[in-house]
Each structure stands twice: as C-alpha cells, then as structure tokens.
Structure 1
Amino acid sequence: MTTPMLSTTADLMPLLPELVLIGGAFALLMLDLFLDANRRYVTQALGLALLAVVMAMILCGTGGHGTVFHGMFVRDVMADVSKVAILLTSALSLLYAWPYLRERNLYPGEVPVLILFATAGMMMLVSAGNLVMIYLGLELLALCSYALVALNRDDGLSTEAGMKYIVLGSLASGLLLYGMSLVYGATGTLDLAGIHAASGNVADRTLLLTGVVFLVAGIAFKLGAAPFHMWLPDVYQGAPTPITLFISAGPKLAAFGMAYRLLEAGVGPMSQQWQLLLGGLAAVSLVIGNVIAIAQTNLKRMLAYSTVSHIGFLLVGLAGGDERGYAAALFYAITYALMSTAAFGAIVVLSRQGFEADRIDDFKGLNARNPWQAGLVMCAMFSLAGVPPFLGFWAKLLVLGAAVEAGMTWLAVLGVVCAVIGAFYYLRVIKVMYFDEPVGELPPPRKDRVAPAVLTVNALALLALGLAWNPLMAWCQQAFAG
C-alpha cells in the first residue's frame, strides 16, 4: 500500500505564499483579457498589490516552516529571507517598468503577469528540496525571462537578445540537467537530503564528481559567472531597460538559493571539490568582469560586465563553504539586487521616448541639469564601487572576511585588487556627471512622478542600510544558524 502524498490540506500550508502568488497571477492573466489599453494600469496595480500581500505573508510567518510533498519543497529561514528580497526586487521592477513601457506602447498588461510567474519560479528555486523541483522552478523562471527580453518585437536588438538568451539559456539548462542525471545515477535518489546522505559513500565516485562539475557549470551559467558570461552583455543591452533591471536582480538571488540547495544541501560531502571549482570561477569572474568593463562606452554593457565581477564576489563567499560564508554571500546577493535596481532605475528615469540614456556620454553634465538625480546616480555608483559607508562596502568586506576565515587568503587579496580596478569605471560615470559639459538639448521633464520617487527611495536605501547594515546581516546569519 502506497503512502498518500498529502494527509490533510494543512500539509500544504508552508506552500501557501506560492499558491497565492500563482493563483493571483492566473487571475490577472484572465482579467487582462477584458481590459483595454487605457486601463492596463489595473493589472499593474493589482500585480504590485499581490506581491505586497505575498511578502506580508512571508514576513508574518503565514503557513509556517516545514516541508511539502515528502521533502520536495522546503520552507525555512533561508528561503524566507531570499523570497522577501526576490519579491521586493520584482515590485521595484514593476514600478520602474510601467512609465517606460507605457511611453513605448510595449504591451504593459502582459509584463506584470510574466514577472509574477517568473517570481513564482524563483521562489520555488530557493525552496527546492528535490532535483525535480529545482528544474521546475528554473524552467518557469527561464521561459518567462525569454519572453520578457524579446518584448519589443519591432526592435532588432531586443529580438536578437531574446534569441541569444534562449539558445544559451537552453545550453545552461542542458548542462544542469545532465549534471543532475549523473548525480542521480551515482546516488539513486532525486531527493537532496538523500543525495547528501549517499554522497559520502557512493560506489562510483568518478560519476558523482563528473555530475558535480556539470552542476557547477550550470549554476555558473545562470549566475553569469565567467567564463560562462557570454550571454550577459548582449541580453542586458538588447532588452528593454526595466526588463534588464528585473533579470539583473531577482534571478541572481534565485541562482544563489539554487546553488546553496544543490551544493550544500545536496552534494555537501563533496565540498572539498566544488569549493575549489567555485574559487576558480570567482577568480576568473573578478578579473574578466572588471577588466572588460573598463573598455565599455554603453552603460548597460558596462553594468553587465560589472555584474560578472559582482558574481565573482558572491562566489567568494560561497567558496568559503561554512555558515559565515553562506551568510555573507546571501547578504551580498541582496545588496547587489538593491544596487542593480538603483543603477538600471537611473537609466529608466533619465530615458524618454526616442532617448534611451544607455550610454555613459548621455550622463554628461547631469549635475548641471538635475543635481538631485545626479546625486542619486552617485549613490548607486559609490555603492557598486564599494565606497564606505554605502551598503556595497560592507557586502564586499563581509565576503572577503569569510574567504580569509576559510583559508582562501589569495582569493581575498585578488578581490581587493579587483575592487580597486572596478572603482575606476564607476567613478568615470560620476566624473562625466559632475565635471563634463552637458551635450545636446535638455530632455523634456517626465510627466510621471512614480519612477523618480522609487529611484529616490532605492538609492537612498543604499546609504541608509550602509549606516545600519547589522540587522540585515543578522537576518542572513539566522538563515544558516544551526
């Protein structure tokens, strides 16, 4: 006699936030069919409200912690911290996206629904307790992301970015799936807890090691770590800027959660091997990302290569392989998500119909035109560069400290050198804003006030959280305590 998957509906309670989000996304998908172009703001507003409700449910502990479907879905403190950050970045993406997409008539009613489903995929990833759940969440996120990147069908750059994203994203998914199949073949189970228990005494260790290598390669693809970063610059440049903002922030948090579940909760006994792989990827990402970013004139491409370097710092924390390293890496992932939304949000706020503000030269003389916006951009760039007391400084300091504690001093030293190199291209943006003369005519003032207000809160939060970062770090440490 087989054991039923569920004994009562109470067993589904830890899954309640995801159920509410997916149910609400389907409802909005149906509602949007009955709304004309002038009332698409209803879908936008309801999407934001849904994200706020789900975030409140997680913060209030609605449903409680536990496992669902015999361990396939795990809800714990790490999952809750990651989900709150993911929901916040998704909400910021919607707030930035509405005025931009409305100006360009880019089907804004479909965007909130796709972002909601992508958010559900990210939430599944960070709560996965089984290889099947990991792949389900990954594909839900990926398919929605492909559609969002190719949103502007009349723009050749956007459709090209979408095609590149699909091809390379499919390659990454294939690598990850092949690695999962090898791990399953070596351990005989899809459950991450079972894989962890079996990894220490498998008969065919070579098969398991090969699977781990493919898992790390797939994770590196999804994170955008070098040398698996080839999709990042073209996708970041070609996608509409609010979509670039979205895929640069939330999916990085989800990929961190996936990496933790697969590597620590899954093949944890093989940590000596995968930590070396992550350390090597971190070093390559730090060097390639920072060096190539210096040569960029397009701000979105520059931020894409800087993403590679930031992923290097995140991997420095993961490579440490203990509670301190994981907490520092999670803190870095949240910090980077906030910094990235502010940086791309500045491009959204400064752009107009026919003027994308995506070149560094477009920021020339911004201080003379709009000192407040120049100050907000400066906050974002200082935080990305790791200038104290901004939040980015503490994030870098914590992951480098974790690397030293784990005996990877060489990696910490390389991180410090690369952080100094990276400061150059961030300070270049500040230099053109404050010391170069304005070029061209002054763009007309924005009619909306939402995006500038969101940018104000987003950028100033980098300074405020930099002055009071301890509670956030304590929450990240709680996620991996015990």
Structure 2
Amino acid sequence: MQMTDLIAMLPELVMLVITCLMLLTVFIKEQKVNDEDVFETPRASQLTYQLTLVTLLGLSFAFGLQAVDQPVHAFNNMFLVDALSSLLKSVACLALLISLIYSKQYLVDRGLFRVDFFALTMLSLLGQCILISGSNLMSLYLGLELMALPVYALVAMQRDSRWSIEAAMKYFVLGAMASGFLLYGMSMLYGATGSLDLNEIYRAVGSGGINRLVLAFAVVFIVSGLAFKLGTVPYHMWVPDVYQGAPTAVTLLIAGAPKLAAFALVFRLLVGGLLPLTADWQPMIMILAVLSLIVGNLTAIAQSNLKRMLAYSTISHMGFMILGMLSIFDQHAYTAALFYAVTYVLTTLGSFGLLMLLSRQGYECETLDDLKGLNKRNPWMAFIGLILMFSLAGIPPTVGFAAKLSILETIVDAGYLYLAIIAVLTSLIGAFYYLRVVKVMYFDEPIQTEAIAAQGIAKAIFTVNGLFVLLAGIFPATLMALCLSAMSKTLLS
C-alpha cells in the first residue's frame, strides 16, 4: 500500500472513521440507565445528526474538488478516482444530506431518530462510494454489498410495524438472490478471462479468443443481477412492497442516492468491461427498458398509495435511463443517461420530502386523499409539489423534460426510432397519474385540516429543491455541460 492509494481514498476513509467514532462516542459517554437503549439517548442522537450533516456537506465539497482530468488508480487498480466518480459521489453526499434534513421530524415522531440510524446511512453511503469508484469485480461487489446490507436493517428498524418487517424480509431475500446472480456472472467472467480487473477483462473479451458461450452466460447473469438492483421489469417485484412497507424516510434513502451508484455499476460493468459484447447485452437492455416503461407506467395508474405509485414510477424511470446505454461508445448518449440519473434523484428527493413534511406524529401522508386540497392549506407547498410532478412527467419547462428529451435524441440518433415512439407514448400514459396528483392538490376539497408542522429548515430546503428542478429545466446547459465534461474525461481516459 502506497501513500497515493490512501490519498485517493481519503474522503472514504474520513467517512469510515467518523462513522466509527459516532458509535464509539455513544458507548463511551452514554451509560444505560434503567435499561435505556444507548442509541436512543436524545443528546447523542442530536449530536450524531449534526455531525452527520456537517460530514456530508464537507464530503460533497471534497468529492467535487477531487475531480481530475486523468484517472487515478489505487490499490492495484481496484479503486478508481475519475471525473465521473467524483461527480456521482458529490451528488450522492448532497442527496443524503437533503434526505436527512427532510427526515428529521419524521424520525423523531416515530422514535427512529437514533444514532444507529445515522451510522447505518453513512455505512451505506460508504458502500455507494466504493461501488462508484470500483474498477475491479471484487471492489464492485464489495461496494454493492456494503451499500445494501445497512439498508436491509434500516427498512426493518420500525420493529413494531409488521409492514416494515415484511418489506425488510422481501428486500433481503430478493436482494440476496440478485447478488447471487451477479456474483455467479462475475465468477464465470473471471473464469473465462482470468482476471478481475475491468480493463483486463475488456482487452481479453475484445481479443476474440474466449469461448463465446461462456461469455454469453456470464452476460445473462450479470444483466439479470443489474436489473434486480435497478428494479426494472421483470425483476421489479420487490420495489413497490419495499417502498410502501419501509418508513418514508428509509424509502427516500432507497430511492435517492443508491440510484446514482446503480448507474455507476451499470456503466462500469457494461461499458467499462463488456463493451465488446454489446451484441449480447444490448438486446437484453432494450427488452428491460421497454417492459419497464410499459409495466411501470400502466401499473402506476391503478395505485392510490403514493409510495407505491412512486415505486412504479421509479421502475419506468429506470427503464428510461438505461435507454441511454444502447448507443455504442457514444459519450453524448452516456451523458444523457448520467444527466437523467442525477436529475431524477434530485426530483425524487423533493417528491418524498413532500410526503414527510405533510406527515406528523401518528399520521402518515401516503395516499392521494392525504394530498386533497393542499393548495388551500399551503399554496406554496402545493406549487412546489406541482413543479415536482411536472418534472417526473417530463412537462416543460422542468428539468424532467430536458432529461427525457436528451434521452430521446440519443436513441433517435442511434437509429431506434421505434423505441423513441414507445418512450413518448408511455410517458404520455405516465403523465396521467402525475397530473392526477396535481388535480387532487388543486381542485379537491381538503380532508386534513391540521396545520402543517414542518420545520423551517426542511421547508426551506424543499423550496430550494423545487426551484432548482424548475430553473435547471429552464437553463439545463450548465448541469448538462458538467455531466458531459465528467463523461468525456472518463471515456477518453
């Protein structure tokens, strides 16, 4: 191990040390009194929460400053620092920061404002960062498992809720199955190429001297595992149940930053390692995308539970995102997919944030009826909600429109006009259930009359979140240029 290796991984090491110190400080300073759980002590929880926010803000800046023109390979090429990884990790830290600000009052009201909650979220973020920077099959898999295992515990943290326990069990079992598929595909790939390094795999596969049948089976298992992690059809069965069963704060942790890590996993494996096998994995990606667009949008129409509706919405959006992976080594197509992933995560933060801001102790805002008449109760929150729904539907001038338009341009340029037609038609279907939410907020009479007790800082972040979605749609060039710069530097290297 060299000093350059440690410097390359310094932000992740800082994250790990701070997370361990959170737990150690609790056990050293807090004593169990009358069998009180040390993780539930108010003073420790508040200090840990503040430390977590400060750490995430600092890490977001650190990862942004870490962006390099030339990639840095560390730990025998197991860990890669490049422009793409720096951008994704910076946005992931920012997404988790916003998620925790939205979640504070929600967690307090449900007895989940605990030290172990924040420690688990930080460990999951650490896994995401390792996954995003993985350039070796081993580091990719370790990062994936470190990202997933803490989330299983978070889903089940509301121990008195049978829905949460059921969701955690489903998530764990199906997640283990997906990991098994992915690991089996990776083992076949290693057996065929003799290497775990993605660059070596790329060269070995491109040489043409490897048994194509073995590689084809490896691709099938790898793409199946990726589809599970993305939640695309037909591997989507866990998404709606987990989204609905988990506490809304945990649902946001699943729907937010991990999507960026999932994009990185798809990009590193399919483009960084298996690009010569495009003829094998591209038809599978195409089928997954089309099925996700159709099933996700059609099924979402029938949902009255907002969390389930947003779950099926996620399935359709993941299908839309992977359409950008169909162009062969096209930096503009990959940039469009990256832009879509980033903007989708930022929009999703606000959508689930709205549900948490409207929830209170003993009451969950999670059905369409709960949003009835929101414009009469709080016109500004209804307006921000309208912007977020318009963005998810892809209606101009929001950033969701710019993201969908960029994907459509790339698939038309690649010669897949029929896919563009399918994507547009399914987006029109999807617009129905998003506009239904707007109709409920603006034209129905309110059922809930209690005052909205959201904290000031959470409401301020919600406002900034919504306005960013609007302004980034009116002026998308800056964010698109940032994504293009990161992707072009990564591909050229």
TM range (shorter): over 0.9
CA drift at 1:447: 5.9
Q: Distance in 2 between matches of 1:65 and 1:27?
A: 31
Name the counterpart of 2:49.
Answer: 44
Q: Deviations over 1:426-460 (max 9, x none)?
A: 00000011111112x41244162222222111111
- Counterpart check, 1:203 vs 2:207: no
Matches within 5 A, 1:306-345: 306-321=313-328, 322-345=330-353
Q: Is the 8 A contact 2:336 2:406 kept in 1?
A: yes
Asked if structure 2 preserves the Cα contact closer than 8 Å seen for 1:99 and 1:451, the reply is no
Mapped pair 1:461 → 2:446: no
- State the partner residue of 1:442: 449
* Change over 3 Å in CA distance of 1:364–1:194 after alignment to 2: same
8 Å CA contact 2:67, 2:83 repeated in 1: no
Deviates more, 1:108-117 or 1:249-258: 108-117
CA shift at 1:183, angstroms?
0.7
Amino acid at match of 2:111: N
Once the 2 structures are TM-superposed, how far is the Cα of residue 410 of structure 1 from its aligned partner? Answer: 1.2
How far apart in 1 are the matches of 2:341 and 2:454? 33
Give the corresponding residue for 2:36. Answer: none
The 3 A distance-change label for structure 1 pair 32 and 412 is farther
Find the residue that maps to 1:70 and give its secondary structure. coil
Q: How does 1:125-274 map to 2 (within 5 A)?
A: 125-200=131-206, 201-274=208-281
For residue 59 of structure 1, the aligned residue among 57, 60, 64 is 64
Q: Does the 8 Å CA contact 2:67/2:86 hold for their aligned counterparts?
A: no
Could you tell me which amino acid in structure 2 is paired with residue 450 of structure 1?
A: I
Alignment match, 1:3 = none
CA distance in 2, matches of 1:447, 1:316: 38
The residue aligned with 1:371 is 379
Compute the displacement of 1:149 (Å): 0.9
| Aligned residue in 2 for 1:397 | 405
Q: Tell me the distance in 2 between the aligned counterparts of 1:62 and 1:419.
A: 35
| TM-score, normalization by structure 2 | 0.94
Aligned-partner SS, 1:74: strand
| CA displacement at 1:132 relative to structure 2 | 0.3
Q: Which amino acid aligns with 1:189?
A: S
CA contact (8 A) 1:377 1:459 kept: yes
Instruction: State the TM-score, normalized to the length of structure 1.
Output: 0.96
Q: Secondary structure at the match of 1:388?
A: coil
**Partner residue, 2:309:** 302
- The alignment-based identity, stated in percent, is 47
Q: Is the 8 A contact 1:286 1:309 kept in 2?
A: yes
Query: For the Cα contact (< 8 Å) 1:14–1:65, is it kept in 2?
Result: no
Look up the equivalent residue of 2:336 and give its one-letter code.
Answer: A
Question: Bigger CA drift: 15-24 or 357-366?
Answer: 15-24
Distance in structure 1 (CA, Å) of the matches to 2:487 and 2:216: 26
- Structure 1 residue matching 2:134: 3-state secondary structure: coil
What value does the CA root-mean-square deviation take over the aligned residues?
1.4
User: Structure 1: how far apart are the matches of 2:50 and 2:257?
Assistant: 20
Residues paired across the two proteins, number: 475
Determine if contact 2:297/2:426 at 8 Å carries over to the other structure. Answer: yes
Q: Does residue 387 of the first structure (1) align with residue 384 of the second (2)?
A: no
Deviation at 1:10, TM superposition (A): 2.7
CA–CA distance in structure 2, aligned partners of residues 16 and 84 of structure 1: 14
What SS class does the counterpart of residue 480 from structure 1 fall into? Answer: helix
What are the superposed Cα offsets for residues 288-347 of structure 1, whole Å, 9 maximum, x if unpaired? Answer: 000000000000000000000000110111122321111111110001101111100000
Are 1:480 and 2:487 an aligned pair? Answer: yes
Equivalent position amino acid for 1:19 in 2:
L
Gaps of 5+ in 2: 31-39
CA distance in 1, matches of 2:384, 2:25: 37
| Alignment partner of 1:11 is 2:34 | no
Offset at 1:31? 2.2
**Matched position secondary structure for 1:99:** helix
Aligned mates of 1:160, 1:202 — CA distance in 2: 47
- Residue 29 of structure 1: how far off its partner (Å): 2.0
CA distance in 1, matches of 2:209, 2:418: 32
